Amino acid sequence: MFSELKTSSLYRTTAFLLSIGIAILLLILGQSIFIPLAFAAFIAIILAPLCQYLENQGIHRNIAAFLCTLLGGAFVAGIVTFFALQISALAENVDTFEDNLNQMTVNISAYLGEYLGQSELGQLSSFNELFTFLMKDAQSAIGTLLVLVATSLITILFLSVFVVLFLMYRKDIRDFGVYLFEENGSSMRRLLLKIEKVVRNYLVGIFQVILILAVCNSIALWILGVPNALFFGIFSALLNVVPFIGPMVGSIIPAMFTVVINNSALAGVWVILYFTVIQTIESYLITPSIVGNKVRINPMFTLLAIFIGNLIWGIPGMILFIPLTAVLKQIFDEVSGLRPYASLLGELDRKKFIDEVQEVTTSSSGS
């Protein structure tokens, strides 16, 4: 059977694998550029309909792009302001939190001093002392944190500039793709529109999932008596954007806060139990129903995309590689030679596949 395999097929497969390897190498080497570019491109795709609407109202394209980016920035600033206000509201529980945490620290440090033989730990009597003990060499960490904050601000500025540029030149970028493959211009235009649609649908679907989780989390945490339930509910929902790690952190933080404030381990167990249930429902019902139908990626390759994204780009890769995989699937689905890879990634465009098979069958019978 293998002897009958065409040499051209082997060459094509080898070339494809080699291209994938080179692409991965470029993504690793250029991650400081490609990560903000990818985020900017996805944000621009989300804002493109609004930008087009403003242009249809007679507003100049450059001004419309700037206004849309400003609106997106205002939305993000609103979220940041909300969290800042909620964090300030946490100050109402600071005294209770500190007293309970100091008592817990005394108990834990005494346990560690007795069973682990650390006499210095056993002598600690407050959270402040424990914090000082653990942060003796924290000056270097603080310097690293300041560098990280400065780098983040530069990245945000870089991201905003490219969102504006993508919105301003979105039609030129689309035309470039069409002219580059002029002999298949109509197919290329259709492919670019499909890519925009699938990315936009995916991001909108993620926003819907976050909204549903925020409402459910806030109500459930309020019922369970968690202080600042709205803050922790929305915070946990937003962390759900980061697969696996996000939901874990989003459940542990409110659970620990509840344990300290209520001075009850049982309260924390109820919080963890709720998040376990809601994350199970989200993973097997909410996200597949809302997001899965929009990207049509095989769950196995969705998981693989998350792991590869983490390997190449870290946490940003875990967020970006699912829509990027959906984009690859659209490209493979449009190129007949790459159709098997599209079938491997997820559901094929069955109508187009059947039409092409009928076309080949008709041409073969005619000859």
Confidence of residue 366 (pLDDT cuts 50, 70, 90): very low
Instruction: Indicate if the pLDDT at residue 190 is higher than 70.
Output: yes
Name all contacts of 211-218 with Cβ < 8 Å and 24+ positions apart. Answer: 211/237, 212/286, 213/237, 213/240, 213/278, 213/282, 213/286, 214/238, 216/278, 217/278
Helix (H, G, I), strand (E, B) or coil at 84: helix
Report the C-alpha gap between 349 and 333 in whole angstroms.
7
Look at 23 and 129; give whichever has higher pLDDT: 23
Measured in Å, how far apart are the chain's first and last C-alpha atoms? 27
DSSP β-bridge partners for residue 135: none
Q: Which two tokens stand for residue 133?
A: 């003990």
Between CA 339 and CA 33 the distance in angstroms is 30
**Model pLDDT, residue 281:** 87
pLDDT in tens, 97-116: 556 656 665 555 555 555 55
Residues contacting residue 320 through CB under 8 Å, at least 6 positions apart: 35, 38, 39, 42, 309, 313
Burial 1-33 (b: 16+ CB within 10 A, else e): eeeeeeeeeeeeeeeeeeeeeeeeeebeeebee
Mean pLDDT of all residues belonging to the chain: 76
Give the predicted TM-score (pTM) of the model: 0.71
DSSP tally for the chain: helices H, then strands E: 18, 0
Mean pLDDT of 117-121: 50
More confident position, 126 or 288: 288
Q: Which residues of 240-254 are buried (b: 16+ CB within 10 A; e: fewer)?
A: bebbeebbeebbeeb
**Strand pairing partners for 297?**
346
CA 359/CA 356 separation, integer angstroms:
5
215 or 196: whose pLDDT is higher?
A: 215
